[in-house]
Structure 1
Amino acid sequence: MLDVADSIELERPQDKLVRRLCSTLSGYLDKDQVDACVRAYEFGAKAHSGQFRKSGEAYICHPVAVAISLAEIRMDANCIVAAILHDVIEDTGVSKQELAKAFNPEVAELVDAVTKLTKIDSKSHAETQAENVRKMFLAMGKDLRVIMVKLADRLHNMQTLGAMPAEAKRRIARETLDIYAPIANRLGMNNIRHKLELLSFHAMYPRRYNILDNALKKARGNRRKIIDVIESTLKNRISQAKLVCEVSGREKNLYSIYQKMLHKKVSLNDVFDVYAFRIFCDSVDDCYRILGIVHNLYKPIPGKFKDYIALPKANGYQSLHTILIGPFGFPIEIQIRTHEMHRMAESGIAAHWLYKSDDDKNDKFQDRANEWLRDLLEIQQTAGDSLEFIDNLKIDLFPQEVFVFTPKGEIIKMPRGASIIDFAYAVHTDIGNACVSARVDRKLVPLQTQLENGVTVEVITAIWARPNPLWLNYVTTAKARSGIRNYLKNFKQQEAISLGRRLLDKEFQAMHLQLDAIDQSKIKALLKISGKKTLDELLEDIGLGNKMPFLIAKQLTQDDIHAAIRLDDKEQNQRAPLVIKGTEGMVITLAKCCRPIPGDSIIGFFNPGKGIVVHHHDCRNSNDVRKKQTSWLDVEWSQDTTGEFPAELRLEILNQRGSLATVATTISENNSNIENVTVIEQDSRVSVDLITISVKDRVHLAQIMRKLKDLPIVIKITRVKA
């Protein structure tokens, strides 16, 4: 190989870039590793020979610029080599095997992971991008350096958007703000995140950017004197306490200023009048001592202190934040952190490679990042498609956190607005699927309760419990939303198949036949006519009420599978009833109009797409439906039915103090719970109430009604059946 100094000439832009790359790499890599990076450049330049970017420069300039960004945060040699070669598999004829042979398998794996998916022209652009992001996260689960290369790649693409059409600029900028900048933030890489946000802001709203930038430049001259006064005051007071520190006035990010103006609906002066400072010291103890000093120097604003050292953010960020009233009446925002915390705040996950010789704090940060990735991989495995995964990812990338405790004292971070259900899924998916209620600080609360900082949460689970579709209205985390959707999707499908098989078996039993004994050719012919690929699909359709089991059984037992089938009421009514327990799930539901319970005479109706709805035999609604259609069947309760079922009572009681409490106590003493109370009518003497209670069966209900009737305050009691 040529010597680095000799091999690099100054005529072409790519040569200048390689010289700069080598200069940066020489600061922390061995000569052999730098030579390997130069060899990668020569390999990539040859592979990309004849390819140019829209700006007119040689294509190889792009991957070298990506490598420079990674070298500035001191990534390892294999990552730099992969960055230089990250487009050769996609854009040239080089294969993954050739890369592994020319360099090493690790480099080949990294390059392959960064490579975009191809040959998906049939999909929309949104689906294509979603697939790419999904693949990237799968690769990140194996090696976090994949996202480093991808972020640096996106950063350089944003820096060179000039040659792109305006519409493409806005689309790429929006995608950057939605996905890549938040990922950089989630991994603690604030330096790259701020650059991506600023470039995206300029690409999306160039006029707003320029107006805001010019206004800030004009305002800076007047502010400089105030900043210098406050900075020198802070340094003097801290040095008097014999503490060593650095103080610097912090320039607010242009995009951050724009976001505050947008969301808080305030003017530039209101945002820009907050003076920001950072104080760097050597130890955590010094951070808290400096905090006391600045609070003594200037008056703190109540409620504006945040301790991210004791409770770090999810991305590992640590610092003390406080806002004070300064000497000129302006707010002063101060961040206090150690030098190590500042390195972590700027480099994030990259600090794992940059400062490997330090203590185990980097490993803890790596573990935190891996934990987040494991959650995302679990979400992507259960997501219906790539667009759903992207929606879940966006939810997860914009958290405002609260900190709650488990009963054992472990701290769990949750996004603001998260409910008990979110917490249950954060602990474990199985706990989320089985949760029924919870105790917050030892008090029973409903599942939709939103979490607050510092509370202790104990989730109560039950073996019979399962997720409810209504939970999707209460959850905010991607993991909970994905877990509920996945469970409901699979559960409903399996329940429908199981019910469909039971219904079809019942029809065949009436004919003294079995489903398994039916000729496979007839089943295949029926599937073809029905447009179904498998028997399970047909059974699912039966279970969901889309097809009548009696008709399907008739078709399968006829010689002519195409013959029209007429459903005979008399023949249908002579068939054996379907035995149910009432707890089968979403494909067998109990009607809310009459609330049937074990022991009642019941009847079932096929509700297309939902399965079977069970009514009380005397329900007026069931009588109306029976007159109009024939999609009903006889059902009866199983002998071993267990569980609790809602029943509705109409009570006329004396309207006096404590009446409702007496009724509630009597119901509780008879092993029942009140689910709902509605006052229908009320005057000075009598109150008419509808009370929904949970009972085991008709015998249990009759026992409760007798006890209530014995109360002196109860005038009349009846069960509501319609």
Structure 2
Amino acid sequence: MTITADDLIALVRAYNPKTNESLIREAFAYGARMHDGQLRHSGEAYFTHPVAVAAILSEQKLDDATIITALLHDTIEDTKASYSEVEKIFGNEVAELVDGVTKLTNLQLHSNETKQAENFRKLFMAMSKDMRVILVKLSDRLHNMRTIKSMRPDKQSQKARETMDIYAPLAGRMGMQWMREELEDLAFRVLNPEGRASIIRRFITLQRETGDVIQRITTDMRGELEKGVIEADVFGRAKKPYSIWRKMQEKELSFSRLSDIYGFRIITETEEDCYRTLGAIHQRWRAVPGRFKDYISQPKTNGYRSIHTTVSGRDGKRVEVQIRTQQMHDVAETGVAAHWSYRDGVRSKNPFAVDPAKWIAQLTEQFDAEENHEDFLEAVKLEMYADKVFCFTPKGEVVKLPRGATPIDFAYAIHTRIGSACVGAKIDGMRVPLWTRIKNGQSVEIITAQGQTPQVTWLDVATTGKAKSAIRRSLREVDRERFIKLGRELARSAFEHVGKRATDKALSAAARNMRLKNADELLALLGSAELTGREAVQSVYPDLLPERGDHVDHRRAVVGLEPGQSFDRAPCCQPLPGERIIGITFRGRGVTVHAIDCERLSLYESQPERWLDLRWHDGSHAAVYGVTLDLTIGNDAGVLGRICTLIGEAAANISDLSFMERKSDFFRLFIHVDLRNVEHLHSLMLTLEAESHVAEIVRFRDPSAGGPVGDKPAKQDARSDA
């Protein structure tokens, strides 16, 4: 799909309302004029490439100068434009950036005789004046790799190898992990297409045999965090095909013996919650020795901060877990680029973003001082327990606690019963207040008494998730009945405020959606002010408030298509944004997108050349994706109208409705609704489940509704929406 000047400006304005629209529009027109008549290998107008590079940089929320540089980055090199003309029209800053990209392009980085470390030395020299030069170059390479199919096979191999050896590692070194992974996967697709297809096929088989492992583990992790009263978001995904292939080669293992092929990311609200989350995860699953790294206490030089740990369950399967705050996550996504990112028209003030000049100086100094440059390219080894204190029981047993822990944390670390009965503590034989901070090497003795119960003030003293969770649980039990009674009144008021009734079914649906044991637990949390009535209402009716923000164009909603390929959603599984997807190519029909657990995919197992590894665009989607719901409802007056009203209130549109069965007391019908994503589907189903006249609701899928099997892959041209 062609990106116009208005499209690009809209992308920039979304994060920078104060953008200089006229200057971007002028750069767009100037670049189009300079490149007029030039074509890419695919036959497209050449200027579509600089525009696509600018769009990639806008996804990273970069400043106007970088966006304009992307539009002009090939003008001095490939057109009649000159440095002085660019400087006169767009200023010295843009001219210097465009000139820097030109010089970087002219470096002979793909020489087989030149070692990778020496290539990095050249890159450091080229980007030392302004690192935005390399940000443009990386985005330039990313778009070239996305559209590489139009090049000759020998050129494809050369560019893919250069990408794998230089640009992907550099993106990783700069902290841009998403770009590193995509560059590696695109290069892997060229260098070893059969190996990549093999990994994808095995993933499909594993999914069919074990079910949705990611969803299961994500639910378990959220449950553990709920127990610890930790506010956090949990995301899971399968690792990229190249990452798995590399592990298989390094460890000389088959796919079936490779364990840690799934990764999970937990985004917390505070740094303290990161360590509480780590404790909750290690309490539930066994930590794998040697696989723990604390990049929060000792960040990487590019600003990256996160806790990494690998854990294993009873079945021996390993999963990698990354724990970080939202601000840390923003830097982890964009790395050094976060220094230039904008939000609401001003430079984003992320406390973890690194000053690029200092980063380059430090990196270059470190590089020149390293005798073995290969060692320099390896990740720096970090001290494993820099954030811990080690103390002792009176019997000499070692207890490991977070730095800043108190005797309360120590008592609960020994046993919940000891923590609840604690009345005092001695450190190194001296009586101390319970809020005392324990230091390394100290001996701690807990004094207990029968009849003692946890006090509310202990919540301010305790630091570990285990202690806080146990204290809250005990406090809730003391006044549970009072809290339930108060919570019922709060729920009634909150539901009536939005025109709903707090029926037993609605409360049970809210409890289930919030992963609580039952409605009484929900009411107790409401009564103790640990949940708000608004949260309870939104868990059942999340779409009563209007949706905000721009939507992803549904025609460009899928990432990973080959050049020139269009797509449609498979009618058999009706995949939604948020679900893992696979594409099957058809000659003359583009690509049909299936959910990864679709039964119909088994029909294509013998045709791996037709498989595409796809994903949904990360942005906000409009409610245009049809899904069929199978409902059984009571045969009473007004029930169907009530159901339709609830669907409308949930911001979903009914596109079709048909009755399947009509009985004296119940109707069974298919309702076709247009939704935004899988979360929208889940919330709508929860809303309908809470309606007392709905006896049953399921998502309908028809494996017989797919397309033809015998078609060969569609021919591909050079156009790409990916």
TM-score (norm 2): 0.49
Q: Work out which of the two has the higher radius of gyration on C-alpha atoms and give 1 or 2.
A: 1
Asked which structure has the greater RCO (Cα within 8 Å, sep 6+), the reply is 2
- Whose helix proportion is higher, 1 or 2? 1
